[in-house]
Amino acid sequence: MRYLIGLILALQIWGLMGCVKRGVPNSAQSDSLKTSTRSKYLVETAKGTFIIELFDDTPAHKRNFEMLVERGYYNDLAFHRVVPELIVQAGDSRFRSVPNPSLDSLDNRTLPAEIKHSHFRGTVAAARKDDKENPQRASSASQFYINLNDNRFYDGNYTVFGRVIAGMETLDKIAKVERDANNVPLERVWIKIYPYDEK
């Protein structure tokens, strides 16, 4: 019996260590997240890689992100806003290495708000225009940001539609790039996003 209890405890500790090793944000795990049909994406940058998992209970945002990745919208875009210890943001077609009118036309669209989740470290949320212009809190269909900390003061205002499940250290590196007074990085960090298959 003691052996069995010891084995169970060892497996639990091993599982927790695995989460830490993979860089899974602990606070993001504590939120009530529904990801029964998991949709995961690998993001490549010059600073490293990270993996995003999309939530099932924000279906419009999930389908939109999947469509943008399939069309290659995010490839060769740069992070255009970096605020250390707060967020990194991408998805603005003006920050593409080479303009692509067919893809850039996908920018400037909006999605209805699906505000359900909290802003924990590692969560992925849709940017949007302010309440004065946008009282419905509709999301930008292309721009997203990743929380570098638990930014709970954003709760109820922006749609959180995914989380980083591995590679937060890459986001922390991106947060250290030199930037101008408007938090626009002076060093361009280009991205490519692909569907991620765990197999």
Q: How many CB atoms lie within 10 A of CB 157?
A: 14
Question: Under CATH, domain 24-195 is a member of which superfamily?
Answer: Cyclophilin-like (2.40.100.10)
- Average pLDDT for 170-193: 97
Q: Which residue has the tokens 């940058």?
A: 45
The SS3 call for residue 133 is coil
Each residue's pLDDT tens digit, 140-167: 999 999 999 999 999 999 999 999 999 9
At 26 the pLDDT is 41
| Cα gap 147→141, rounded to integer Å | 18
| Cα gap 107→184, rounded to integer Å | 19
- Average pLDDT for 20-42: 52
Name the pLDDT band for 89 (thresholds 50, 70, 90): very high
User: Which comes out higher in pLDDT, residue 182 or 21?
Assistant: 182
Q: Give residues with Cβ within 8 angstroms of 2, minimum separation 6.
A: none
The SS3 call for residue 164 is strand
Q: Does residue 14 register a pLDDT over 60?
A: no
The region of weakest confidence among 60-74, 91-105, 135-149 is 91-105
Q: pTM for the full model?
A: 0.81
Q: How many CB atoms lie within 10 A of CB 131?
A: 10
Domains in the chain: boundaries? 24-195
Each residue's pLDDT tens digit, 39-50: 999 999 999 999
At 38 the pLDDT is 57
Q: Which of 15-19, 116-120, 194-198 has the highest mean pLDDT?
A: 116-120
The answer to whether 163 and 53 have CB atoms below 8 angstroms apart is: yes
Q: Does residue 22 register a pLDDT over 60?
A: no
